[in-house]
Each structure stands twice: as structure tokens, then as C-alpha cells.
């Protein structure tokens, strides 16, 4: 796997970051609005946003006194293209892939 894909998949590995990306599918959001549904600090959400920005999955822009987040779909397309190589007979079922990963990783995570 190439380094950019490593960064993308590392960013996607966290459920909070995946939830943030899902929220940004709807529209650009202010950082404070992104943080609102989570029971964690704004600093913690800012770190997640930093990881997503470093992976190129989102961009952040200051508009006046408010920092806005925007989904950047090109990096997701690169990851999707790579993953489609494993779906030889059609599109990759990402829900099934996520369930598979959860099943496989659950015992490993409980050992930590």
C-alpha cells in the first residue's frame, strides 16, 4: 500500500472520524457544530479534524472568526479505487467489509 493510502486508512480506522466524515457529507460545518454531537472535548475533536485534514479527507478554512470543515472526496475516491480491486465481480460492499473488520478486530482490541 502506498503511503497516502496508509494515511487515509489510518484516518478512517477511527469511528469518531468516520462519523465526522458522514456529517460532512451533508454540508460544510463549523468546527463547533462538528463537535456538538460528541461527548468529548473540543480539543479532542480538533485532533480528529487534524488527522482528517492531514489525510486530505477534509479541508479547514477560517471564515471570519469561525473555522469551517469541508469534505474533500478525492482522497476517498483514491481509497475506494484501491478497494474496488478486491471486488472482482462488481462493487465492493463496504458495509460487509466493515462488519468483517469489526468481527476480526474485536478479539484483538479486547486483548489490549
Q: What is the rounded CA–CA span in Å between residue 91 and residue 43?
A: 37
Tell me the per-residue pLDDT of 46-64, one tens digit each, with 9 for 90 and over: 999 999 999 999 999 999 9
Fold classification of 3-111 is Arc Repressor Mutant, subunit A (1.10.10)
Q: Is the dihedral of CA 32, 98, 85, 51 positive or negative?
A: positive
Is the whole model's pTM more than 0.85, yes or no? no
Predicted pLDDT of residue 110 = 56
Q: Which residue has the higher pLDDT, 2 or 45?
A: 45
Q: How far apart are the first and last CA of the chain?
A: 26
Tell me the per-residue pLDDT of 15-39, one tens digit each, with 9 for 90 and over: 999 999 999 998 999 999 999 999 9
- What size, in residues, is the chain? 112
Task: Indicate the domain borders of the chain.
Answer: 3-111
Q: Would you tell me the crossing angle of helices 73-84 and 3-12 to the nearest 10 degrees?
A: 100
Amino acid at each position: 500500500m502506498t503511503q497516502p493510502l496508509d494515511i487515509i486508512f489510518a484516518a478512517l480506522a477511527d469511528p469518531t472520524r468516520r462519523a465526522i466524515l458522514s456529517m460532512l457529507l451533508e454540508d460544510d460545518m463549523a468546527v463547533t457544530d462538528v463537535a456538538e454531537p460528541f461527548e468529548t472535548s473540543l480539543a479532542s475533536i480538533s485532533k480528529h479534524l487534524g488527522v482528517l485534514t492531514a489525510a486530505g479527507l477534509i479541508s479547514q478554512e477560517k471564515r471570519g472568526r469561525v473555522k469551517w470543515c469541508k469534505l474533500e472526496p478525492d482522497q476517498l475516491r483514491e481509497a475506494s479505487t484501491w478497494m474496488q480491486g478486491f471486488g472482482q465481480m462488481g462493487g465492493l460492499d463496504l458495509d460487509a467489509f466493515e462488519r468483517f473488520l469489526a468481527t476480526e478486530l474485536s478479539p484483538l482490541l479486547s486483548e489490549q
